[in-house]
A = this chain, B = another copy of it.
Amino acid sequence: MNDFRPIPEVEKHGEFLQKVVDLLFKNIVFTTRQDKVVLWQSPEQLEEQFDFSLKQNGDEHEKLICLLRNTIKFSVKTGHPYFINQLFSGLDPYGLAGQWLTDALNASVYTYEVAPVFTLMEKHVMREVNSMIGPDWGDGLFCPGGSFGNGTAINLARYNKFPDTKAKGTCHLPKLVLFASEECHYSIHKFAAFLGIGEENVIGVKTDDVGQIIPENLERRIQEKFDDGSAPFMVVATLGTTVRGAFDPIEDIADICKKYDLWLHIDAAWGGGLIFSQKHRARLNGIERANSIIINPHKLLAVPQQCSILLVRDKEILHKCYSRGAEYLFQKDKHYDRSYDMGDKYLQCGRKCDVFKFWFMWRAKGSTGFANHIDTLMDLAEYFENQINVRSDFMLVSKRQYMNVCFWYLPRYLRGKTNILEHSGQLQKVAPQIRSVMVKHGSVMLGYQPLKGLPNFFRFVSQNSALTKKDIDFILNHIADIGEELFK
């Protein structure tokens, strides 16, 4: 019996929600290869076909269901194995169940009393993930995305060197500079600007031909900056760069950070999930020497959007840097130990619960399940790279280090040439044109981009556990078929 609302209303809501769930099951959660990844419409077409209007009066349930149906129809199926456009793909049923539960609880995690289960769960997950990094690792935050986590780390690094910035700001300080790979994620620049450091004061470090920071170049840039009176305070290394999936040489970088007393932040948003794989964990060697690390379980581990973890070695600094003790939330006279109120060490106030879906997937699969997922994907990435290497109509951009395989499709007139980069102008147009055809078919969504003067190339990323070698053959043949047709 429900005595908050009239029973007919409750029944009506119940029926409606069950219809919604049925619709979701049928049209999103369980897709097939016969489904398109996207039913492409240009913005102008979609404006005509979808009723976005907002009105004075509400719609009936029948109309609402119709709107949901259209939303699904015109949305991209990011769970489809042929969605290879970003650093996430797939839909895990346990992750989804976890997300649906936290939605229904409509939880916000700041104090123990308001989110008791999720507060302790965050502690457990954080402890477990920290212990997978190293024995002296201690604290962390759940962040609304890796960009925000990187920004939070930059601020921690600055606070660590100049603790009075919290109260006094930076106007009394010399010019602060940090160092990052020229292939680092753009969030480093965006947040450097946001934090008052300035984009220009993110000093780009040269990378080698597979995309790794060249340590000698890093050290030279640091010395230059000390010499010109700037105040270096931080190096950002990347484990799994966005485009090439490159892994910066952590041990060398950590040595340099030690020598110059710089905070080492590791952006392992994409690569960090490897902590679960016995077979591939060695690629993260040295990660425990960092001061902070960002890992996005919503990338490699296929946790639903968003789940992003900032790990911090120093157990005290988050509280020191971020706490403010707002008395309407963190009252001093509570009837339980206030140290459980973790919201005070966060920049945010209200905060969505991102821990549960991750914890629940972990329970459903076990650490072994995550490891198997990774190892399978790595095999697929290797298979993809091998196929590129054996075919004359494709060419690798640089040697694969991870799940990313960067490659060109070569029109007939470019095959067998010794230096295809002399034809950059032509090559630049190939990937966008092929992609445009694929997206309009709705067959495959595969990202492309230029990089460091190299013309547009495709980036395949192995990350969806439903993908098979047969799929990879299909995707390559599909690209080749379109290419043959377009570039006769």
Minimal Cβ-Cβ distance residue in B for A4: B466
In the complex, given contacts A4-B466, A5-B466, A55-B363, what are 11 additional A-B residue pairs having Cβ atoms less than 8 angstroms apart? A3-B32, A13-B93, A43-B116, A56-B366, A64-B363, A67-B363, A106-B304, A147-B347, A147-B350, A185-B349, A335-B440
- CB-CB contacts of A10-44 with B at 8 A, as 1s and 0s? 10011011101100110011111110001001110
A12's nearest neighbour on chain B, judged by CB, is: B93
Q: Which of A10, A13, A103, A436 has the most CB of B within 10 A?
A: A103
Chain B residues near A185: list those with CB within 8 A. 349
- 16 A–B contacts, CB within 8 A, in A order: A4-B31, A24-B101, A38-B116, A41-B116, A43-B112, A57-B366, A58-B363, A64-B364, A71-B117, A72-B105, A148-B148, A171-B171, A171-B176, A171-B198, A194-B347, A333-B429
Q: Is A78 a contact of B64 with CB atoms below 8 Å?
A: no
How many Å from the CB of A298 to the closest CB on chain B? 7
Known: A3-B33, A124-B52. A100 touches B20 (CB 8 A): yes
The answer to whether A117 touches B74 (Cβ under 8 A) is yes
Question: Which residue from chain B places its CB closest to the CB of A83 in the assembled complex?
Answer: B114
Q: How far is the CA of A24 from the CA of B351 in the complex (A)?
A: 21
> Does A144 make an interface contact (CB < 8 A)?
yes
User: Is there contact, CB below 8 Å, between B32 and A4?
Assistant: yes
Interface residue? A75 (CB, 8 A): yes
Q: Please state if B58 and A349 are interface contacts (CB–CB under 8 Å).
A: no
Residue A121 CB within 8 A of the other chain? yes
Contacts A333-B429, A349-B186 given: A76-B116 contact, CB under 8 Å?
A: yes
Question: A79-112 interface mask toward B, CB cutoff 8 Å, 1 = contact, 0 = none?
Answer: 1010001101001011011011101111110001
User: Do A16 and B363 touch (CB < 8 A)?
Assistant: no
Q: Determine the chain B residues whose CB is within 8 A of the CB of A322 once the complex forms.
A: 190
A382 at the interface (CB under 8 A from B): no
The CA of A99 and the CA of B6, in the complex, are separated in Å by 24
Interface check A228, CB cutoff 8 A: no
- The 4 closest A-B CB pairs, nearest first, are A169-B198, A196-B196, A144-B144, A328-B449
Cβ contact within 8 Å between A170 and B168: no
User: A100 contacts which chain B residues (CB < 8 A)?
Assistant: 20-21, 24, 100, 103
* Stretch of A218-226, A252-260, A352-360, A413-421 that contacts chain B: A352-360
Task: Sort chain A's interface into a size bin.
Answer: 35 or more
Which of B124, B168, B456 interacts with A198 by CB under 8 Å? B168
Q: Please, which residues of chain B bring their CB within 8 A of the CB of A369?
A: 58
Say yes or no: is A376 at the interface (Cβ < 8 Å to chain B).
Answer: no
In the complex, whether A207 has a CB less than 8 A from a CB of chain B is no
Query: Separation in Å of the A468 CB from the closest CB of chain B?
Result: 9
Given contacts A75-B116, A432-B334, are A167 and B30 in contact (CB under 8 A)? no
Contact residue among B93, B367, B451 (Cβ-Cβ distance under 8 Å from A54): B367
B169 touches A43 (CB 8 A): no
Complex interface: chain B residues within 8 A of A30 (CB): 2, 10, 13-14
**Which residues on B sit within 8 Å (CB–CB) of A477?**
none
A125: which B residues are within 8 A, CB to CB?
54
A183-208 interface code vs B (CB 8 A; 1 in, 0 out) = 00111011111111111110000000
